[in-house]
Amino acid sequence: MTRKLKKGGVLSISLPTDPGLLWRLGRLFIKYFIVKRTYNVSKEEYEYINATEHINSIFTLINLIRYNFKNQIRENFLPFKIKLVDLNLFYIVHITK
């Protein structure tokens, strides 16, 4: 995707912090209190969907981004803005060409 960017262009990516602690707590809450009512799937189906969508851990993805785009990135964490994966739900990175 960065090859298609013009000079000075920005690619923004938002990733869930799975398997961070806060992300796992949120997923546990959803699994036991919301999934059956809202999505009409079993807990096992919900876990299967998450397993197929979140193949790489956030730790691996952050390392790949930092290695490949060393001085081109600006990172944010949400909702707490502390640079710790375990205390946030999302990792947002802006890669400038």
Above 90 in pLDDT, residue 7?
Answer: yes
pLDDT of residue 69: 95
pLDDT digits (tens, 9 = 90+) for 22-54: 999 998 998 888 887 888 888 899 889 888 988
> Which amino acid is residue 16, in one-letter code?
P
What pTM did the predictor assign?
0.82
pLDDT of residue 20: 92
Q: Which DSSP state fits 4?
A: G
pLDDT of residue 93: 97
Q: Is residue 95 within 8 Å of 10, Cβ to Cβ?
A: yes
Q: Where are the alpha helices (DSSP H) in the chain?
A: 21-33, 35-39, 43-53, 58-68
Q: Is residue 79 within 8 Å of 5, Cβ to Cβ?
A: no
